[in-house]
Structure 1
Amino acid sequence: MTESQLAAPDDALPGSAVARSTRRMRNRVLTSSFVGSVIEWYDFYLFGVASAAVFNGLFFPDFSATAGTLAAFATLAAGFIARPLGGIIWGHFGDKVGRKRMLVLSIVLMGASTTIVGLLPTYATIGIWAPVLLVVMRLIQGISAGGEWGGAVLMSMEHAPKRRGLSSSVAQMGLYGGILLANGVFALVSLMADHAFLAWGWRIPFLASAVLVAIGLWIRLGVEESPIFAEARARAEQRDAKKPAPPLIEVLRHPKNLLLSIFLVLGPFAASAVYGTWIVSYGIQQGFPRTDVLNAVLISAAIGLLGQPVFAGFSDLWGRKIVVGLGAVLQAAGIVAMFSLMQTGSIPLMYLSISLASLAHAVVYSPLGAWLGELFPTTQRYTGASLGYQIAGTVGGGFTPLICASLLAAAGGSTVGPSLFIGATCLLTLIAVFVAKETYRSAL
């Protein structure tokens, strides 16, 4: 292959790396990204649902109801704290040895830690060691999740770069699929009698992870490495006689795109933590039946899943800026409306409000997988995109339930504080939209 061919856009020539990624393999990669992401996010968000519904009583029984909820959400945040570390680890090796190997390792690690949570004794059995072990498993979950999103999104878009927004959204649909599955399974087991649910029923969704991981692992082992990454690595090896700097060092040398990637995802992460996790605790405190709140989150996740490819496709036509910018405004407004409608005490309005918040999230979130990937060169893409995404996840997703619960308690139940907090994060996202360059027509 000549130097001019190597320098051409990845999808421009029949003999290019992308042309060699057959339609059958592309479909398998997209299937692998979706199914694997569903399983990973099922495991990750299952912990969030359990934190809101049962962990406060089982692992923090000596606390008051409010303090126990805060402690449970602090444990939830531990997983988000570990995600940037996971992004660095998986990103480094993903940019060095390949995307596929890291995706296989991440799903195995996530499945093992989630299954162990289902086997943990509670505080009544082993005392303080119960919450300690719970935090350890959550940290392992966080490290695993730190590499999942970046690997799945990049495998999808690098195998099918002509419609990068749409192809990367398939992996991002896994987020909604995971929320859908986690809340659906938890809603089913919550139909049990309370004593049975608290005694052993809550463990079933965690133990089911072992079966799901086996399925996801089988699918992922059958995909090929990203052709764009393989060719970029070969070019880098031919061009650089000396050993190149680690991907993290290269990313940090030019921090603008890393900072932009953090702020682009910050608002969507904070909002999804509210309507997808914290709203379960808030809804129960407002007097809504637990089953209804879980079902509302279930329906909203289905709406978000269906909306994801639609709005991602729009970003391939109109650009990332217009879709994400509009979505950031709608997301802030949607959270305020959700709180207002839920305070009416109406169950139908509770369903409607959470669904609208999820739809707004689909608008702002759907193009971000492609946009973050497009901000970095191929040999730094896994590290840069993962690190930015996971730092935003730590700040926006990990601490938002704890912050909102604290603001609510401090204000005597007023939702003004949580609304302003989400509005501020969405404003930061909107500013990043204006500063970031438009990339939807640029070659990878």
Structure 2
Amino acid sequence: MSDAARQRWVPVSASAMGTVIEWYDFFLYSSAAVLVFNTQFFGDVSPVAGTMIAFATYAVGFVVRPLGGIVFGNIGDRVGRKPVLLATVLLMGVSTIAIGLLPNFDAIGYWAPALLVLLRVVQGFGAGAEYGGAVVVAGESGRTRRGLFSSIPGAAVDVAMLLATGIFALFALLPRDQFDAWGWRVPFLLSVVGLGLAVFIRVRMPETEEFEKEVREQHTERSPFRELWTSHKRRLFIAAGVNFGGNLAYVFQTFALSYSINNLGYPPVVSLLGVVLSGLVGAAATVAWGALSDRVGRRPVIIGGALFLIAFIFPFFTLIELGLGMLYVAVVVAHVADRAIFGVQAPFYTELFPARVRFSGIATAREVTGALIGGPLPLVATALVVAAGGSTWLVALLVIGLAGVSALSAWLAPETNPDVARRVTGEPAPATAA
């Protein structure tokens, strides 16, 4: 491998592998919220009430993510990308291991849900900067094929979901009493292996060359977050709008899993395998969409994915009610489509914001919308099903609205891929990648 190729692939690989490990931790919680936490940590409540409370604690992690994104994004733009990614992996790893050791409601009463929420807050604070940092590192390391390189951390998120759900499904095969007693804890405790590996990887990861050249050498005293709001507000709102549809995986994954088990009566383990399959296909689709955006531009891919989801959402719910085979088809197709938005976000965001505010811009845009949309989405969707008497039509309308915001935001944005913009207009892209 040439030195130039090594300079691209080492930081991209380090950010992607760290992302797998950190988001494995984050996604474990969603599976546990459906299958375990509703009975282990919230006392004697009905299954529906327990699930909704568990989803509420799941949403807590999203509420603090903007704070983590703002704090760590500011540090990442001033001090460097590497120290932030080391800090986030430590926060995620330690809090996840602690969840695996946490006594349940029967052992310590209301301290159990209180401590669970506290650890979820720590998880969310670390997650608030993790994906944004990984995208920045990958995007700044692969400037000539930015769509391909910066989509790799997005694929890593799917790999993490696949691993978390798959390992959780494996232990869910245990007899129910053993699974409740200790089996559900093992996937959380396995994070100790991932934590050690992630720290090793990120200690060895170099700082990005673009940060060194464009930011650190300026030696200016400034607040990236303040500059973001004073000079790049329009871009920030466009980036946030695109992420409305970027959160729809929480409908097609977390909510669909809960709905298929609790409302349709599908076996938990078999339903979990559908999520695993969609994660495997979704990881490949994320990279494919990113590579396609290098050829046709970022905007067409994002808009196309959003419009497809608008057209597919009613067939999606029809299919998952026809049996497990159709559930798998529906979840996989929907997830491939939502990856057109999520996967191309990475190069789009990297090119939308200049380097001196890039980490802050990406983290703020993603995490604020994640807190407002992504975190509450499974809970809101569950409540809408209850309000509609068991029907999913209100959830479908919600999906149409979120995907529509993404399509409109991308349409209002400039084409950030400089090569495509140059072909279309004959001029460089109005967004800056420096």
Under TM normalisation by the shorter chain, which class is it? over 0.9
Equivalent residue, structure 2, for 1:398: 375
1:375 matched to 2:352: yes
> How far apart in 1 are the matches of 2:312 and 2:175?
34
Aligned residue-pair number: 418
Equivalent residue, structure 1, for 2:300: 322
> How far apart in 2 are the matches of 1:391 and 1:21?
38
| Equivalent position amino acid for 1:309 in 2 | V
Give the one of 247, 270, 282 matched to 2:224.
247
1:357 matched to 2:360: no
**2:162 is paired with a residue of what secondary structure?**
helix
Question: TM-score scaled to structure 1, two decimals?
Answer: 0.92
| Equivalent position amino acid for 1:359 in 2 | V
Equivalent residue, structure 1, for 2:245: 267
Deviations 1:361-394 (A, max 9, x none): 1222211011112111111000011110111211
Equivalent residue, structure 2, for 1:430: 407
**1:42 is paired with a residue of what secondary structure?**
helix
1:82 matched to 2:82: no
> How far apart in 2 are the matches of 1:404 and 1:343?
16
1:407 matched to 2:377: no
Equivalent residue, structure 2, for 1:138: 120
> How far apart in 1 are the matches of 2:104 and 2:358?
41
| Equivalent position amino acid for 1:268 in 2 | G
Gap regions ≥5 residues in structure 1: 1-19
Deviations 1:308-361 (A, max 9, x none): 1111111011001100000111223333322111122x1111111111111111
Equivalent residue, structure 2, for 1:214: 196
| Equivalent position amino acid for 1:83 in 2 | R
**2:207 is paired with a residue of what secondary structure?**
coil
Note the C-alpha offset of 1:90. Answer: 0.9
- Maintained 8 Å contact 2:11/2:208: no
- Maintained 8 Å contact 2:245/2:338: no
Q: What root-mean-square deviation, in Å, do the aligned CA atoms of Structure 1 and Structure 2 show?
A: 1.3
> How far apart in 2 are the matches of 1:267 and 1:235?
37
Note the C-alpha offset of 1:32. Answer: 0.8
Deviations 1:84-140 (A, max 9, x none): 001001101000000011001101110000000000000011011100000000011
> How far apart in 2 are the matches of 1:39 and 1:268?
21
- Maintained 8 Å contact 1:267/1:396: no
Equivalent residue, structure 2, for 1:231: 213
> How far apart in 1 are the matches of 2:147 and 2:96?
31
Note the C-alpha offset of 1:62. Answer: 2.3
- Maintained 8 Å contact 1:115/1:207: yes
- Maintained 8 Å contact 2:23/2:161: yes
Task: Map 1:38-187 to 2 at 5 A.
Answer: 38-187=20-169
> How far apart in 2 are the matches of 1:180 and 1:333?
26
> Bigger CA drift: 80-89 or 250-259?
250-259
**2:215 is paired with a residue of what secondary structure?**
helix
Equivalent residue, structure 2, for 1:299: 277
- Maintained 8 Å contact 1:268/1:331: no
- Maintained 8 Å contact 2:78/2:216: no
- Maintained 8 Å contact 2:25/2:92: yes
- Maintained 8 Å contact 2:22/2:89: yes
> How far apart in 1 are the matches of 2:142 and 2:298?
17
> How far apart in 1 are the matches of 2:311 and 2:112?
40
Gap regions ≥5 residues in structure 2: 419-428
Question: TM-score scaled to structure 2, two decimals?
Answer: 0.94
- Maintained 8 Å contact 1:261/1:389: yes
> How far apart in 2 are the matches of 1:63 and 1:421?
28
Equivalent residue, structure 1, for 2:261: 284
> How far apart in 2 are the matches of 1:419 and 1:317?
32
| Equivalent position amino acid for 2:130 in 1 | E
1:334 matched to 2:312: yes
Equivalent residue, structure 2, for 1:309: 287
| Equivalent position amino acid for 1:389 in 2 | R
Compared CA separation, residues 90 and 376, structure 1 to 2 (3 A) = same
- Maintained 8 Å contact 2:147/2:344: yes
| Equivalent position amino acid for 2:312 in 1 | G
- Maintained 8 Å contact 1:21/1:159: no
Compared CA separation, residues 247 and 99, structure 1 to 2 (3 A) = same
> How far apart in 1 are the matches of 2:207 and 2:318?
48
**1:166 is paired with a residue of what secondary structure?**
helix
> How far apart in 2 are the matches of 1:45 and 1:182?
6
Note the C-alpha offset of 1:412. Answer: 1.1
| Equivalent position amino acid for 1:307 in 2 | A
Equivalent residue, structure 2, for 1:416: 393
**2:43 is paired with a residue of what secondary structure?**
coil
Note the C-alpha offset of 1:21. Answer: 7.4
| Equivalent position amino acid for 2:155 in 1 | M
| Equivalent position amino acid for 1:121 in 2 | P
> How far apart in 2 are the matches of 1:383 and 1:349?
41
Give the one of 185, 188, 196 matched to 2:178.
196
Deviations 1:127-177 (A, max 9, x none): 111000000000110010011111111111111111111110111111101
Note the C-alpha offset of 1:235. Answer: 4.3
Note the C-alpha offset of 1:233. Answer: 1.8
